[in-house]
Chains A and B, each alone.
Chain A
Amino acid sequence: MELYELTVHELMDKLDRKEITSEEIIKSYSKRIEEKEKDIQAFVTTTIDTAMEKAKNINRENSKLAGIPIGIKDNICTKGVKTTCSSKMLENFIAPYNATVIEKIENEGLISLGKLNMDEFAMGASTEYSAFKTTKNPWNLQTVPGGSSGGSAAAVAANLVPWALGSDTGGSIRQPAALCGVVGLKPTYGMVSRYGLVAFASSLDQIGPITKDVEDAAILLNAISGHDEKDSTSVNLPKKDYTQNLVKDVSKLKIGVPKEFFGEGINEEVKTSVEKAIEQYRKLGATVEECSLNIANEALAVYYIIACAEASSNLGRFDGIRYGYRTKNFNNLKDIYKNSRSEGFGAEVKRRIILGTYVLSSGYYDAYYKKAQKVRTVIKQEFEKLFEKYDVLITPTSPTVAYEIGTKSNNPLEMYLADLCTVSVNIAGLPGISIPCGVDSQGMPIGLQLIGKPFGEETIIQAAYTYEQEIKFREKYKPEFKM
């Protein structure tokens, strides 16, 4: 068995027993990247040389994670290494500072293998909106890896990195994790510092782990979560150890299954697979009940109004003045703004900026933005009501499995439907985890989403772990790099 095939907790054990060194791990990944990156196209920037240097000088005394490699979504600022957001706008941008999560993982001694591809500024669900390259799904290279953290999910699935950081605004960690057959965890809003995450929609964005299994997700969450005084929306709660919840027991678990997520628009094979998983939970001793989340259908509209409104303001700073792309074609200030932004942003980003500008403009604000905020409150309340009865909710992560590259990228509305099952979790600021629950008739992975109460990560980790241990997906299925 190659080192790159192991999970992080397996690598940690081997490092602890001094059976392997950090250098050997990096070498193994270096070889793997050399072999497979040309097929997958997951990286925007690789930092293997510096990773090798760091591995040589690793000190494992202070942290069990020291010497373990990691991949980072390219919208998280890394001092000295390009942070492009897969946009022409930031093609050559090197941040002068590290994001708080980068500081945290560096303090743990984790070693970055590079920056991973994504939809431009995290806007998209297939990674086809990257300005640089289209990342392929390791299970079938003709299909998309999902998005926006498609580079992160594909890299983990293809063993190009043992785990990765992604970001999730409306499903961007969970949906690609589902499509690539790996684990993706979106923490509760406020759990992980956003300082240094290039903002898409500030009230929805959250950084989280994409990993090979649930145990790794708990370990990485331990490393990146915690209060940060540089982020006013970060929550100050006592630090928890999520590996304590790697217990195979759901006997006391009350599961709600919102029927709205099993209706129209959900692929039959996906539905069948998730229903089978729910049945499995019942067999394992959990109480399962159908329930209703009335506003599930409004969530998508609310999401696109709020996310675009915030994005239209957040992306104003890319104006060609201080950093990033500046047009060569200008005679005055207005030209600099207009042409830098017209040339520097891709079509989807522009589409969302225009939409967001529209919903905030005077005369439309009340009808769109303000109303969306009101519905947002209602959605939160609906969830609160459900969580009075249930510990977790189960839904499919994505309405479909990975689809062929190019089939939806010209149809934004169809693309937006990919977020159907995931956006309401961001709107309500809840934690959600996607774990593989099977494959379809074509052998493509299907993801199951567990939604928890605010700061209910412990519960969803335990529920996910229990199921994972039961079905042993990783032992049964492996990406085939089908051409």
Chain B
Amino acid sequence: MSREDYEVVIGLEVHSELSTKTKIFCSCPTEFGGEPNSHCCPICMAMPGALPVLNKKVVEYAIKAGLATNCKIANISKNDRKNYFYPDLPKSYQISQYDIPLCTDGYVEIETENGTKRIGLTRIHIEEDAGKLNHDEYSRGSLVDLNRAGVPLIEIVSEPDLRSAEEADIYLKKLKSILEYIEVSDCKMQEGSLRADVNVSVRKKGTKEFGTRTEMKNMNSFRSITRAIEYEAERQIEVLEQGGKIEQETLRWDEVSGKTFSMRDKEDAQDYRYFPDPDLAIIKISDEMIEKIKSELPEMPENRRERYIKEFNLPEYDSNILTSSKYISDLFENAVKICNNPKAVSNWIMTDITRILNEKEQEPNEIPFSAEQLGELVILIDKGTISSAIAKKVLEELFENPRNPEEIIKEKGWIQISDEGAIKEVVLKILEANPQSIVDFKAGKDRALGFLVGQAMKETKGKANPQMLNKMFLEELNK
């Protein structure tokens, strides 16, 4: 048998930090960073006698996520305790949801090579995040920081519907985009606010039963997830091909070696002893509340994409890219409101802005300038105040030190020369310095014109209006 005879089956459990202002069971801020243990109180530090009170916003956000992913919302739900000992878990139990999650039976649609594919969601439930251990070399011990303890999370569990690393990647990006659109999570992967547990198994094509799965926990980059799935699928196929058996176990993905390793903690197989948390009341959700949240859901990426195609006459490909991130999509729409030139704004975003982001290894939400500033940049080009060459320089400047583009070009002296007299002066000067080009042009070598225009641009440091240069050179040469 060969690689092609096998099918990879992937299920993802995505943990996403919700962007509520306060923690799930106390009023401490959820803000990232801060001095260790400065965003804590008796409740999230699990002082004896302290009690949790459920933050209603968390329920609301989770329902939002459920509705945006076509889930059924429970009218009655509850919190359960998941018991285990670890120093980052101050109560020695995590308040989560066990058998009655807030949302069930949803799906997300992804665009694959073979068209649209529906990925089932088993459930979405709410739970609290744990603290963080900082391993300290000096004291040879670990220090516990509970700032993150009690930050609200939703766990989104997919059905084992994904069939390749690529599909998993598309699904994750889609999920991230949905969560950003409905503004329940900022999904900052570098801050750990979006993490995934990845379940992988393989089976021979055509079989109905699933193979034994392995799990890789707490993965927090798209790249590692893709690489880990690819590696793990190959590894499993290799084991099976050699007549071996897959062990159901938790694996650790090592980014440096690009391999998975067994965690070998089977002797500590956890029994979490789930039971309903007696400190918290039953969660009751009325149909009115669900309807209200539904009516407040923002326009989703699919709808925006359709609108861009119809309203702005943008190609499907461009519309897809523009709507894949809420931040980008908002930037686009707001810039268009200023300059009324969707095609130009779209081009700027898809080419230069994307390129600069990639160079800087930044996320769209790290773009420092505003949609208004981008819109004005486009206006300046459209009015002929600056050339597109200058505009690129203005854009670089917007990334470095964002301010009004008009201010930038004034300050830098980048205003385009469109004065006929001034242009003529340059044209004559360049012709005088390049008699050979005149000869070449007359001999029918059209490239000579391009050379002359280039020289003129160089002379004016890119500020001359290229159309006017072209026209005037032709006039002079054809005299």
- A198 touching B53 by the CB < 8 A rule? no
CB of A60 closer than 8 Å to a CB of B: no
- Within 8 Å CB of A96, what residues of B? 42, 47
Q: In the complex, A232 Cα to B55 Cα: how many Å? A: 11
- A360 touching B278 by the CB < 8 A rule? no
Known: A202-B278, A232-B280. A313 touches B47 (CB 8 A): no
Known: A322-B46, A361-B271. A231 touches B85 (CB 8 A): no
CB of B239 closer than 8 Å to a CB of A: no
Interface of A: prevailing SS: loop
Bin the interface of chain B by size.
Answer: 20 to 34
- A230 touching B49 by the CB < 8 A rule? no
A199-B48, A230-B53 given; name 17 further pairs at CB < 8 Å. A90-B48, A95-B49, A99-B49, A195-B49, A196-B50, A198-B48, A201-B278, A232-B52, A232-B279, A309-B275, A312-B273, A317-B46, A317-B92, A319-B85, A321-B87, A321-B90, A362-B273
Q: In the complex, A95 Cα to B54 Cα: how many Å? A: 23
Can you list 15 pairs linking A and B with CB atoms under 8 Å apart? A75-B49, A95-B47, A96-B47, A198-B49, A202-B279, A232-B54, A233-B279, A233-B281, A312-B83, A313-B83, A316-B93, A323-B47, A360-B83, A362-B273, A365-B273
Q: Which residues from 280 to 313 on chain A have a C-beta closer than 8 Å to any C-beta of chain B? A: 309-310, 312-313
CB of A357 closer than 8 Å to a CB of B: yes
- B51 touching A230 by the CB < 8 A rule? yes
- Within 8 Å CB of A95, what residues of B? 42, 47-49
Known: A195-B51, A322-B144. A360 touches B273 (CB 8 A): yes
Question: Measured between C-beta atoms, what is the minimum distance from B434 to chain A in Å?
Answer: 79
CB of A197 closer than 8 Å to a CB of B: yes
Q: In the complex, A310 Cα to B51 Cα: how many Å? A: 14
- Within 8 Å CB of A77, what residues of B? 47-49
Chain B residues within 8 Å of A, Cβ to Cβ: 42, 45-54, 81, 83, 85, 87, 90-93, 144, 271, 273-275, 278-281
- Within 8 Å CB of A99, what residues of B? 49
Chain A residues within 8 Å of B, Cβ to Cβ: 75-77, 83, 85, 90, 93, 95-97, 99, 194-199, 201-203, 229-233, 309-310, 312-313, 316-319, 321-323, 333, 337, 357, 360-362, 365, 369
Q: In the complex, A334 Cα to B275 Cα: how many Å? A: 24
Closest residue of chain B to A202 (Cβ to Cβ) is B278
Q: In the complex, A310 Cα to B50 Cα: how many Å? A: 15
- Within 8 Å CB of B51, what residues of A? 194-195, 230-232
Q: In the complex, A337 Cα to B275 Cα: how many Å? A: 22
7 closest Cβ pairs, A-B complex: A316-B92, A203-B278, A360-B273, A202-B278, A198-B48, A196-B49, A317-B46
Closest residue of chain B to A203 (Cβ to Cβ) is B278
- B90 touching A317 by the CB < 8 A rule? yes
Closest residue of chain B to A358 (Cβ to Cβ) is B273
- Residue of A93, A230, A313, A362 near B48 (CB, 8 A) is A93
Q: In the complex, A199 Cα to B46 Cα: how many Å? A: 11
- B47 touching A316 by the CB < 8 A rule? no
